[in-house]
Chains A and B, each alone.
Chain A
Amino acid sequence: MRPQDHPEVIDSLAAEYVLGTLRGQARRRFEKWRADTPLVAERCQFWEDNLMRLAKGLRPVRPPPHVWQGIRARLNLARRDQKRPGRPWAIAATLLLVVGLSALLYWRSIEPGKMTAIATIATPAGAELWEVDVYRGSLVMHTEQVPAHAADRDFELWALPAGGKPVSLGVMPAAGTAQRKLTEAQRLALASSAQLAITVEQLGGSPNGQPTTTPIYVAPLRSKVS
């Protein structure tokens, strides 16, 4: 028997495919069939549209911010809509521009003991420069726009642990999104930090692991990380 000669067979397979009970090799074969056969695709569409009602009891759950940042990174969207940084300016001018940066940093706990933070670094006028996302041991830095700066300088992010020296969290990306795993030292520093800071450093960051310039911005944290 050829299934294509029996519309009811096609329909049954389509229904079980959409429902999710068609599994394994049968599912793989059906997917190929659906891709090649408009009638099969049409029956799948019928069931997709109708069975959706079964999901009415699902309560929407907003995903954590790093998921969207990951999507942007994977699709290279940050680069796609990235505005070109302005021409390099003198550091003095840069400092004048970025002094007074305002940031919003708030902490949320998704799982007990898991550290989660989001920082939006913006100009006094409200233009977002970077968003920093600390989530489950990773640091994601997304660039909205980079302030004008000298070509031989980078912006570096610091955790300021209580009673300790600043701990570098690395240089901010010049464009797009950068993600890196936090080291144990960085994680511990963040856990006891009440503030974050940004300094202007040589390319690649401070050569000695400590800020070489006065922070151009210090952001207070609203709550401590547990």
Chain B
Amino acid sequence: MDTETQLDEQLQSLLHRCAAADAAALERLYELASPLLFAALTRILRRRSLAEEALQDVFVSIWQRAGQFQASRGRAMAWMLSIARYRAIDLLRHERSAPLLVPDLPDRGASDDDKDESSSWMPTAGLLERCLGLLNDQQRNCLELAYVGGNSHEDISRLTGNPLGTVKSWIRRGLQSLRKCLEA
């Protein structure tokens, strides 16, 4: 069993315990998952204080919705990362902030033992990586700006200096290529 599978099984087990109102499981889950979720929130929201509030919202949601997680249908980290990203996108709407294309915020909170954690949570390279490799640079760049940075079509158009229609088209075609490749 590879490390990634072991980690995900551990997260799944913790989520099941959370569903049974096991507070110790939530604490362990927080230790394991919060650094990546906090990084994702900080990247989208740009404001650390807002990301901290959002992280609280996310773990309250995880606790309340743990019973809805179905291990057979998805990866635990993907499930939690989605809750975090959707929360951040909702907050963007309220905050009316304008995400910008900037490098990662200084992650002074990261400690040495955080290093390489993100890659352990990621689905293994292979089919997925190969499919992403089929995208052209513009397509992949647009997808990353949207997914990681929380940027809208309009933001990406402004950031890359490309017309809005072109950006929408790159994203649409990029997603279509991915689907074809993944389901082939």
Which residues on A are within 8 Å of B, measured CB to CB? 11-12, 15-16, 18-21, 23-24, 27, 42, 45, 48-64, 66-68, 70-71, 74-75, 77, 80-81, 110, 136
Q: A55-B122, A61-B107 are in contact. Are A12 and B172 (CB under 8 A)?
A: yes
24 A-B contact pairs sorted by A residue (CB < 8 Å): A11-B179, A19-B147, A20-B150, A21-B152, A21-B153, A23-B93, A24-B93, A45-B73, A45-B74, A48-B74, A50-B178, A52-B122, A54-B143, A54-B147, A58-B118, A59-B115, A60-B107, A60-B117, A61-B39, A61-B109, A63-B34, A77-B26, A81-B23, A110-B109
A16-B175, A59-B110, A67-B38 known; 18 new pairs, CB 8 Å cut-off, are A19-B175, A20-B151, A42-B73, A48-B79, A50-B128, A50-B182, A52-B77, A52-B123, A53-B129, A55-B36, A55-B40, A57-B118, A57-B144, A60-B38, A62-B110, A67-B55, A75-B23, A110-B109
Are the CB atoms of A52 and B175 closer together than 8 Å?
A: no
Q: Across the interface, which residues of A come within 8 angstroms of B79, CB to CB?
A: 48
Closest residue of chain B to A56 (Cβ to Cβ) is B122
Are the CB atoms of B89 and A59 closer together than 8 Å?
A: no
Q: A19-B146, A49-B74 are in contact. Are A67 and B128 (CB under 8 A)?
A: no
Q: Across the interface, which residues of B come within 8 angstroms of A55, CB to CB?
A: 36, 40, 81, 118, 122, 147-148
